[in-house]
Structure 1
């Protein structure tokens, strides 16, 4: 057997191997191109999402500022006598528990009923005005308590206060639904679609300037507005994840 004949089988094997390497290189190149195109596409989606988020944030920040200003103007003369306050997060806090309920009870007292009769129709009228109505996702009636419950462990006290806070929020909801000034069909439909009652027990109790629990202040009812901004932002972030 000559030297050339011994070499040829090795050459025959080398040619297919080189073709295989060339094919692999082409595949790697195509994968790299696809990856780069996908990166560019994702970059464009991210930029678009960032711009949309910026637009939503600007719009709803302006809207919340306008709503806060309008609510403050509407109730500026009533808040001191109601022992209530309006905050930039659009929560309205009623801070006098002895006026609202008896200790451990969930029945709305007459004095607080009178406050709600004056407050709620005017409140809903502003929220339902054309510039705000579609932007409002939820109006939460929140019941809050302190952490105290006589002769119970902190855990059992939390459970009992959860029950109490939920019952109080529901009682307020039932009372405002019965106010004659909001009993037209269109207003009731809007309220049913958005107004909820929520008990939070002592989960959001207030503290004093010294950092200790404010037992009186923690027992409160709040009306809180949630705008549609959160849902719109969630949809954008969800689309980015796909």
Structure 2
């Protein structure tokens, strides 16, 4: 009896051992599969960030090569974030007004065709999600009967719309192919920013630097490019933050 019992126990333990081995193999494959999937996602993220950086650099270099001499004369700032800031008070809008002054109008006639000729290139077209014309003000209220931020928001919106109107009314825009005009209508926007993004004396955002507002630099018009990679990077960062 004891021999038979021991033999049965041995078969039982062999069977249990086989089950455990099988489970370990399954868990190992699950772990490997998970690691491969994680590595795939990381590779995709790395590729996105690589494309994001390369697109920014290529656009910056094209714009800089085209305008570097003019920007010095015009007192215009091209930043690495692909924003172009027109900050020369001698040519910009008069206080409280949204009519484009003569000097600024002439400058835009020179700038706009060359700027959009770059952005309409096949090299960049598919990598651009939005082109923003932004109007910015300092913190001086435009009138006494509105909330200052809202009054300045309306003024900055009218200024950006005035710039948009000059572009849409230009011979250059009229000469574009229908598909190019359609693309611009979809991607080009005019935005009033009020005094939400005032600048300091070093042209940095006062929200970040905590430095005093420079009224001259804060009263400006900006052209800003948002790339398709910007949108994807935002999504990736959001996913990473949600996992924390």
Aligned to 1:226, what secondary structure does the other structure show? strand
Tell me the distance in 1 between the aligned counterparts of 2:61 and 2:116: 15
Instruction: Report deviation, 1:71.
Output: 0.6
Aligned to 1:66, what secondary structure does the other structure show? helix
Q: Select which of 12, 18, 39 maps to 1:47.
A: 39
Aligned to 2:167, what secondary structure does the other structure show? helix
Tell me the distance in 1 between the aligned counterparts of 2:117 and 2:85: 18
Work out the number of aligned pairs and report it.
Answer: 212
Tell me the distance in 2 between the aligned counterparts of 1:76 and 1:105: 29
Q: For each residue in 1:32-71, what CA deviation from the matched residue of structure 2 results, as whole angstroms up to 9, or x when unmatched?
A: 9999877665543332221111111112211211211111
**TM-score, with length taken from structure 2:** 0.76
Instruction: Report deviation, 1:81.
Output: 2.5
Query: 1:196 maps to what in 2?
Result: 189
Aligned to 1:208, what secondary structure does the other structure show? coil
Judged with a 3 Å threshold, the aligned counterparts in structure 2 of structure 1 residues 43 and 164 are, in CA distance, closer, same or farther, namely farther
Aligned to 2:123, what secondary structure does the other structure show? coil
Q: Select which of 84, 92, 112 maps to 2:84.
A: 92
Query: 1:19 maps to what in 2?
Result: none
Tell me the distance in 1 between the aligned counterparts of 2:69 and 2:237: 42
Task: Give the alignment's Cα RMSD to 1 decimal.
Answer: 3.0
Work out whether residues 142 and 152 of structure 2, in 8 Å CA contact, stay in contact via their aligned partners in 1.
no
**Is residue 110 of structure 2 the alignment partner of residue 124 of structure 1?**
no
Tell me the distance in 1 between the aligned counterparts of 2:237 and 2:26: 24
Which is further off, 120-129 or 175-184?
A: 175-184
Work out whether residues 106 and 167 of structure 1, in 8 Å CA contact, stay in contact via their aligned partners in 2.
yes
Query: 2:48 maps to what in 1?
Result: 56
Work out whether residues 135 and 192 of structure 2, in 8 Å CA contact, stay in contact via their aligned partners in 1.
yes
Aligned to 1:201, what secondary structure does the other structure show? coil
Q: Aligned runs of 1:9-88 on 2, under 5 Å? A: 41-88=33-80
Query: 1:161 maps to what in 2?
Result: 152
Q: For each residue in 1:115-143, what CA deviation from the matched residue of structure 2 results, as whole angstroms up to 9, or x when unmatched?
A: 11111111111111121110011100011
Work out whether residues 49 and 236 of structure 1, in 8 Å CA contact, stay in contact via their aligned partners in 2.
no
Tell me the distance in 1 between the aligned counterparts of 2:156 and 2:118: 27
Tell me the distance in 2 between the aligned counterparts of 1:90 and 1:67: 7
Q: Select which of 126, 137, 153 maps to 1:134.
A: 126
Query: 1:218 maps to what in 2?
Result: 218
Structure of greater Rg: 1
Which is further off, 125-134 or 215-224?
A: 125-134
Work out whether residues 142 and 151 of structure 2, in 8 Å CA contact, stay in contact via their aligned partners in 1.
no
Q: Select which of 176, 180, 190 maps to 1:187.
A: 180
